[in-house]
Structure 1
Amino acid sequence: MSERLNAWPALVYEDLAPMVDYVNRLVQVGGKYTLDEPFEAGWGNIVLDVTPRGLRTPTFRRQGVTFEVHYRLLDSDVVVESDRGSVTVPVSDGSLAAFYASFCDAAADLGVRPPRTSLICEIPDAPRKFEDDQVERTWDGDAARLMWTAFDLAAGGLETWQVPFQGHRPRVGVMWGGFDLSATRYRAHPATPEADRPAFMQNAARDEYVSVGFTFGDAKSPNASMYAYIWPQPDGLEGRTWGVDGAAWNPGAGLVLLPWSTLRKTADPRQAVVAFGDAVYEAAVETAGWPADVIGSRCDGWRMSTTPPAAVRGRDQ
């Protein structure tokens, strides 16, 4: 038990909140470049990959330069890598405005222009633009490592959950606006967005989807947790079981929640993430008419390289 709890560490919101807020602002700088990419349903094109060192944008190809931005949380820096070379921008104590200026100057040496917009989004009470955010913040390397560990562990479970789905599923990654880790499954059924939402939120809700993810929590709900929801929200979610003891439907939030504190105490937390996601998709099948026949076998590549297709097809998931 102790070894598992150490691998899946405790996440105390009050301890992590300052760094979560800081890193959320930092990753929006490189994240803005994703808005120039072709739009995927639900903004699947914008997610940041969870890497062995931090969070990284997709590769961008534009204006005569190919580049990517890597937020190396474990190294306290940001690396812009391109076909012309690479530059490193240290991250330490300071303001978002100062980081943004340093980032733009360093990226310019590689022929990378500033993002087309510097608006800060999805952070309550934030200044309007990066260059307006003059608040001095403290970089905490230990908290950065803890954040990366949580993202890395949750991503492993969510990637395993996604594997057998044969429909459209963007990469598992961090949505740099809300700063949650997301794994989403889509089907080609149009949905009606809520008219009072901003345009980017309406564009996220144009198609039906099932989303499972991880969040550090916020001031209103200060608990790290796995979350899930079905869009549009169907009837019949009350009273269901959700694959893991302790997971529950929260009607006020419109989410199924599995607290991190509960997850880390399960016999196999990674498999618990998979079971949680499977239960949510089963609910979508039973309450919203989602197809059950788009789920393939869940097995590793070695098995697929040596096992005839008929035997794989008959394998219990």
Structure 2
Amino acid sequence: MSGASQWPELAWGDWAATADTLHMWTQIVGKTRMVLTPLQNHWWNVPLYVTARGLGTSAIPYGDEVLDIEFDFVAHELHLRMGSGKSQVMKLKARTVADFYEEYLGCLKELGVSVKINPMPVEVADPVRFDIDTEHKSYDPEYVHRFWQVLVHADKVFRAWGTGFLGKVSPVHFFWGSFDLAVTRFSGRSAPPRPGADSIQREAYSHEVISAGFWPGNGGYGAAAFYCYSAPVPAGLSEATIRPAEAAWDKALGEFVFKYDAVRALATPEKALMEFLESAYGAAADVAKWDRAALERR
């Protein structure tokens, strides 16, 4: 278990502009992976993954070649690499999304990669096309590095939590649309159609899930937090008591929340986070009447 000092401060107000810019950059790279890979259940072909230096796509087949793209949040560079050895590097620095997008497409062209992505961002309020977005242009390397450190710690705990589940479970992956790290467990039962769901939500929530994750505070929430939710939400879940005491049901969000600042303030943040995951999942699984004896390692 790491000490609390290893979980860096990440107040949303201190780096919101940088996070919003980085969000758009990850969407550009993520959409590249989405276009070049076949659809997997629940959109598992689109996320990015925590790496030893940042966030990456993993290997993407391209004809007889293979491509991978990685945000390096240590050297603050974007690496585009082909299996042949050809590569391109972009500096991660304060620059507009439009400028980033133009150089990025140029790098792909230099590598011989032809891909057409939808330039309109998704899952954000008032989206602006990547090619004309001159509003988002901030990049604070210190806070980006802190964000990556949090993702590394969270990824480690999420992976360890997954060892106790025998049912269908997602990889731990970073969804660039919502800008969060998540892992999802499935009951094995189909879910009723979600009212008003679009094609993305219909695919993502075709089956009953309990999902946990971390997001830095975007979307209007304003604070970094860990979360756990059930879809569909079983009746009575909001009345369940979970641990540790610092975690609670958020009525507005309709899910359990354990704020990041509360996590890092504890003596053993990883132990507290694991307790939250186990407790919130257990509460949701019991209320939803999942077959826990069949789904969990005893």
The alignment's TM-score, normalised by the length of structure 1, stands at 0.87
Query: Which residue matches 1:301?
Result: none
Q: Give runs of aligned pairs for residues 1-317 of structure 1, distance below 5 A.
A: 4-36=3-35, 37-84=37-84, 85-127=86-128, 129-135=129-135, 137-218=137-218, 220-293=220-293, 294-296=295-297
Deviations 1:236-276 (A, max 9, x none): 22332222121101122111000111111223211222211
Distance (whole Å) between structure 2 residues aligned to residue 40 and residue 188 of structure 1: 17
TM-score by length of 2: 0.92
- How far did residue 174 of structure 1 move? 0.9
Q: Shift of the alpha carbon at 1:42?
A: 2.7
* Aligned position for 1:303: none
C-alpha spacing 1:219/1:169, structure 2 compared with 1 (3 Å): closer
Q: Note if contact 1:47-1:174 (Cα within 8 Å) is conserved in structure 2.
A: yes
Q: Aligned pair in 2 of structure 1 residues 40, 243: CA closer, same or farther (>3 Å)?
A: farther
Deviations 1:167-204 (A, max 9, x none): 22221021010101101112332213334233212221
What do residues 19-70 of structure 1 show as CA deviations (whole Å, max 9, x unaligned)? 1111110011110133243333332232211112110012111233211110
3-state SS of the aligned residue for 1:212?
Answer: strand
Max Rg structure: 1
* Compared CA separation, residues 232 and 45, structure 1 to 2 (3 A): same
Counterparts of 2:220 and 2:106, CA distance in 1: 37
Instruction: Please say which of residues 118-127 and 236-245 is displaced more in the overlay.
Output: 236-245
Query: Offset of 1:219 from its aligned partner?
Result: 5.8
In structure 2, C-alpha distance between the alignment counterparts of 1:73 and 1:168, rounded to whole Å? 31
Structure 2 CA distance for aligned equivalents of residues 281 and 135 of structure 1: 39
Structure 2: tracts of 5 or more residues without a match: none
How many residues end up aligned between the 2 structures? 294
Change (3 A) 1:189 1:178: same
Which consecutive aligned stretches of 4+ in structure 1 deviate over 4 angstroms post-superposition? Answer: none
- Whole-angstrom distance in 1 between the partners of 2:74 and 2:157: 21
Over the aligned positions, Cα root-mean-square deviation in angstroms equals: 1.8
Q: Distance in 1 between matches of 2:62 and 2:195?
A: 34
What CA distance in whole angstroms lies between the structure 2 residues aligned with 1:278 and 1:136? 38
CA distance in 2 between counterparts of 1:136 and 1:217 reads 17
Secondary structure of 1:71's counterpart equals: strand
Are the structure 2 counterparts of residues 143 and 72 from structure 1 closer, same or farther at C-alpha, using a change threshold of 3 Å? same
Measured in 1, the distance between the counterparts of 2:185 and 2:238 equals 22
Considering Cα pairs closer than 8 Å and 6+ residues apart, tell me whether 1 or 2 has the greater RCO: 2
Distance 1:136 1:253, change over 3 A: closer
1:106 Cα deviation (Å)?
A: 1.0
Structure 1 gap segments, 5+ residues each:
298-317
**SS of match in other structure, 2:210:** strand
**Distance across 1 between alignment mates of 2:118 and 2:238:** 42
Q: Which residue of 2 aligns with 1:311?
A: none
Q: What is the CA–CA distance in structure 2 between the aligned matches of 1:265 and 1:151, rounded to whole Å?
A: 17
